[in-house]
Structure 1
Amino acid sequence: MKIIKNFIYLVLLFTMINCNSKQNQLNVEVYETSASGNNLTKLTNFSSDENQEEVVKIKLLPSEKRQTITGFGGSFTESSAYLLNKISKKNRDSIIEAYFGESGAKYSLSRTHMNSSDFSLSQYSYAPVEGDKELKHFSIDEDKDDIIPMIKDAMKVSKDGFKILSSPWTASPWMKDNKEWVGGKLLPEYYDTWALFFSKYVDAYKAEGIDIWGFTVENEPLGNGNNWESMHYTPDEMTNFVQNHLGPQLEKTHPEVKILGYDQNREHLKEWIDSQYKNEETSKYFDGTAIHWYASTYEIFPEELQYAYNKAPNKYLIQSEACVDSEVPKWKDDAWYWKKEATDWGWDWAPEQDKHFHPKYAPVNRYARDIIGCLNNYVDGWIDWNMVLNKQGGPNWFKNWCVAPIIVDEENDEVYFTPIYYTLAHFSKFIRPEAKVINLENSDKDLLVTAAENLDGTIAVVLFNEGTTSKNISLSLNDKNVAIQIQGQAIQTLVITN
């Protein structure tokens, strides 16, 4: 009888321990993209390797909240929209769904260009008539065959909607001191005309059923080497234009539309921040700041990002453009996107003292590292450049070839989803607008980690293991935990539910 009682006691004890272990287990879904072939694949077996002694400890701290997420996404360019018009409806629809649909990346933040950019088929302006200071001949007809239909198709499949940030590369040449598409400055006599241009643009798009969320004042105000459309400002010149012209104009006609300053590389961010937020008068109309990543293939510039946040913690800080530039896309070659073979503009053209910022790199690594680094340094939105390009990396009137997350062969009606697409989706699909980035503790400096708590209470944790060796991880939240393994050269998104 005593033996039977002991046996029953052991069974009950084992049951209690097993129940407690399940109660202490985090409820988590794991999605992985990897060099070994996973593409946003939901894993059914992600337990750690018990034979590995080293365990990375990650502790989530949801009570320590940071910035509020605005969104993630890509850009509606004339080049991308033109290509979608060249392929079958089936493939066009699949791309739109992949970016904006519930089964896809669920993009929530986007960008487009006002007037032409390098990723247009030609150079054009919505205000082509010289001396038309009241913009009586303003027209967005140039966008009605391509960009506007692409935006409308995206709106149809987007359940939650998405914000549109619009950026000019240049004013009409007749408004500038050099009368050229490239370089030069806006003439003071046309400051009010150019401010009115922004307001007219909002009106014209609204008439098409499209709301504009915000503007950047000027794409790359420091210039682009005088290669394609550009217009130059100093920090104080831009601040003056916003404070005395653009801000008052939009306050009268479209006070809901946001104004973001700067819109270029991070290494010069401090001087623009100091000008915008010098005092209450200068900062009144600036809702935030936009930045690009082209200063380096690996450096995040955390000090500059933290400086911008600390100077104006209640303003937006949005990464508004990024791409693998100066490269022709590799067609259906996933391995290339994981290898350090890509070079950027700076590999050839950066000043000697800046060459070290531009080594060869792996495109997937650059995207994953940058987005995680940005989120961990107060950036609240992240926008990629072209959504779609062809096998040449265009079309582009300047022949400034670049890579997009989705590549099409318009001649043969084929589509290639590169690993960059899946990398971006690890963030956009699972970290939703209004989520709060949260603090965490991470025992392994070589494992990149960020986390955000969504409005529905789910927490998305994104891990990037850049090395080739797998890592065992113990992830804890309050009094619960889960053991997982991430293989080498892999990105994982962990979605924690109640």
Structure 2
Amino acid sequence: MKLRKHYLWTVMVLLMISCGEEKLPLEVEVFETAANGNKVKPIALVNSNEASSEIRILPEEKYQTITGFGGSFTEASAHLLNQMGKENRKKILEAYFGENGAQYSLTRTHINSCDFSLGNYSYANIANDVNLEHFSIEEDKDDLIPMIKEAMAISKDGFKIIASPWTAPPWMKDNNDWRGGKLRPEFRNTWALFFSKYVEAYSMEGIPIWGITVENEPLGNDNNWESMHFSPDEMTDFVQNYLGPQLENDGHQVKILGYDQNREHLDEWVDSMFKNESTSKYFDGTAIHWYASTYEVFPDALQYAHQKAPNKYLIQTEACVDAEVPKWKDDQWYWSKEATDWGWDWAPESDKHLHPKYVPVFRYARDIIGCLNNWVDGWVDWNMVLDRQGGPNWFKNWCVAPVIVDPDKDEVYFTPLYYTLKHFSKFIRPGAFRIGFNNTDDSLLVTAAQNPDGSIVVVVLNQNLEEKNVTLSLGEASNNMQIAPHALQTMVITNPTQIVTNAN
């Protein structure tokens, strides 16, 4: 991995065998974000003989290929960027997509409006326009499209875009409303054509759409904002007989991801999607969200989904600190057990235990690590930028984003969540393999991956109130590492191939 010098702190530990022969050094670069104020800070290793546990890296154990990490382009975020000064607008996009930033590689956007839009809109407003002769993405040309294009110009390696509809236009639905309802059977062909025209229209703007989800949250959202309902079999039928053939006939190579909601219902959806060769033909994978719990990853559901379709994508497409107004320039709040989510008030009694108060940084790091360790290959955050109210959002469904802005004062606040995501997105690159490890300390959460350039990345979360001393081992090489309390560390081993080859 090529990293700029000011990000590096290379520690070379010379190991000796009993006969005194010099062994190949273990070269490690360590970056830390912690409650003590470190923000993806390169740190020196503190050698200690007190290590009581070990993280042993097992590169011969290979799992899923990583698709990428990132966040979402929304009308809310793009609208706010339009109000910022030129310098801060560039600063934010550089922070997400630049070589010195998080280097996002996988992103998402919405098709038609969503709750994080300024109001309801569709690209097909003329009722009963079954051939979509008046289809237009003009609504996106003032905000979303310029934001995406500027990000593309900044990103050296490029990034993939997943696009998701919250609803079809009301005239295609059985309740003629933006919220709730189902697609009317007579408009299935038209709705499939809508996807094709969207992909083509964005392509004409120079923006390739890598993937689509069939419907954001097909189980609904209690009719609060844009939504449209599907059962698992209804979605499978739509993809199998309408959407898949339409995209294929029009020559679009876009990936189709099914489901796109919380993990606790994942089993029944993958059972329908991947029932047989015919049903699974056009599905390239499954999309999931994290809102079923503030701490539970649902590993059994993720493992089941992978086993059901081992050669398909499994991508986390949305996550955010919801039901909260952002805390402005208060880093410690993001490291404290103060946040609540929608379930704190509204979850049924049987699910209340899944929604306790939580530490926002821990929730992000825990979920990404847990997802990676259970076959998820991509992880996408929700809004990249929100204001101090947690919007704009036409429904007033306030949430938190990694970057908060005050457009009136042209001020920017990079929350600890931004740096948490950067620990993964910057260092684990597309095409990496998740690899095996043994961790003898259950209080530390660990994941590991090997990048296409051969470097090995180990991410460790210490949720404890005390520092931890552990031994990081690869082959016969090892070093004692120190991890601060309430800290996330990314360790990059830059010469693993030499070590393993030398050991053999």
The two structures have a TM-score, normalised by structure 1, of: 0.95
CA separation in 2, counterparts of 1:254 and 1:358? 44
Is contact 2:16-2:22 (8 Å) kept?
no
Where do residues 136-285 of structure 1 align in structure 2 (5 Å cutoff)?
136-285=133-282
CA separation in 2, counterparts of 1:365 and 1:69? 22
Deviation at 1:254, TM superposition (A): 3.5
Correspondence for 2:33: 33
Correspondence for 1:346: 343
Q: Secondary structure of the residue that 2:249 maps to in structure 1? A: helix
Give the CA RMSD over aligned residues.
1.4
Q: Secondary structure of the residue that 2:181 maps to in structure 1? A: coil
CA separation in 2, counterparts of 1:433 and 1:19? 42
CA separation in 2, counterparts of 1:239 and 1:16? 60
**Residue 110 of structure 2, aligned match among 110, 113, 127:** 113
CA separation in 2, counterparts of 1:20 and 1:347? 60
CA separation in 2, counterparts of 1:83 and 1:56? 47
CA separation in 1, counterparts of 2:466 and 2:187? 59
Is contact 1:199-1:254 (8 Å) kept?
no
Change (3 A) 1:15 1:207: closer
The two structures have a TM-score, normalised by structure 2, of: 0.94
Change (3 A) 1:68 1:15: closer
Correspondence for 2:360: 363
Deviation at 1:26, TM superposition (A): 1.3
Q: Secondary structure of the residue that 1:23 maps to in structure 2? A: coil
Change (3 A) 1:179 1:72: same
Deviation at 1:23, TM superposition (A): 2.9
Do residues 474 (structure 1) and 491 (structure 2) align?
no
Residue identity in the other structure for 1:486: I
Unaligned runs of 5+ in 1: 1-13
CA separation in 1, counterparts of 2:285 and 2:17? 52
Do residues 417 (structure 1) and 427 (structure 2) align?
no
Deviation at 1:21, TM superposition (A): 8.2
Change (3 A) 1:478 1:141: same
**Residue 388 of structure 1, aligned match among 385, 391, 411:** 385
Residue identity in the other structure for 1:405: P
Residue identity in the other structure for 1:27: E
Is contact 2:48-2:480 (8 Å) kept?
no
Correspondence for 1:10: none
| CA deviation profile, 1:18-38 (whole Å, cap 9, x unmatched) | 996863541000000000000
Q: Secondary structure of the residue that 1:397 maps to in structure 2? A: coil
Change (3 A) 1:58 1:119: same
Residue identity in the other structure for 1:30: V
CA separation in 2, counterparts of 1:188 and 1:253? 22
CA separation in 2, counterparts of 1:493 and 1:67? 20
Unaligned runs of 5+ in 2: 1-13, 496-504
Residue identity in the other structure for 1:46: L
Is contact 1:60-1:477 (8 Å) kept?
yes
Deviation at 1:48, TM superposition (A): 3.8
Residue identity in the other structure for 1:319: Q
Correspondence for 2:85: 88
| CA deviation profile, 1:332-358 (whole Å, cap 9, x unmatched) | 000000000000000011111100000
Is contact 2:315-2:378 (8 Å) kept?
yes
Change (3 A) 1:244 1:466: same
Change (3 A) 1:186 1:38: same
Q: Secondary structure of the residue that 1:238 maps to in structure 2? A: helix
| CA deviation profile, 1:254-309 (whole Å, cap 9, x unmatched) | 34100000000000000000000000000000000000000000000000000000
Correspondence for 2:48: 49
Identical aligned residues as a percent: 69
Q: Secondary structure of the residue that 1:165 maps to in structure 2? A: strand
**Residue 304 of structure 1, aligned match among 298, 301, 305:** 301
Change (3 A) 1:46 1:280: same
| CA deviation profile, 1:429-484 (whole Å, cap 9, x unmatched) | 00000100001100011100000000000011000001111111111111211221
CA separation in 2, counterparts of 1:477 and 1:17? 15
CA separation in 2, counterparts of 1:481 and 1:367? 29
Larger radius of gyration: 1
Where do residues 47-86 of structure 1 align in structure 2 (5 Å cutoff)?
47-50=46-49, 52=50, 54-86=51-83
Deviation at 1:16, TM superposition (A): 7.3
CA separation in 1, counterparts of 2:323 and 2:442? 31
Is contact 1:329-1:392 (8 Å) kept?
yes
Residue identity in the other structure for 2:272: S
Is contact 2:63-2:433 (8 Å) kept?
yes
Residue identity in the other structure for 1:287: D
Correspondence for 2:23: 23
CA separation in 2, counterparts of 1:68 and 1:15? 32
Is contact 1:243-1:285 (8 Å) kept?
yes
Residue identity in the other structure for 1:417: F
CA separation in 2, counterparts of 1:276 and 1:359? 33
Residue identity in the other structure for 2:179: V
Deviation at 1:225, TM superposition (A): 1.1
**Residue 443 of structure 2, aligned match among 436, 446, 455:** 446
Is contact 1:48-1:473 (8 Å) kept?
no
Deviation at 1:246, TM superposition (A): 0.2
Correspondence for 2:315: 318
Is contact 2:15-2:24 (8 Å) kept?
no
Do residues 403 (structure 1) and 411 (structure 2) align?
no
Deviation at 1:55, TM superposition (A): 1.8
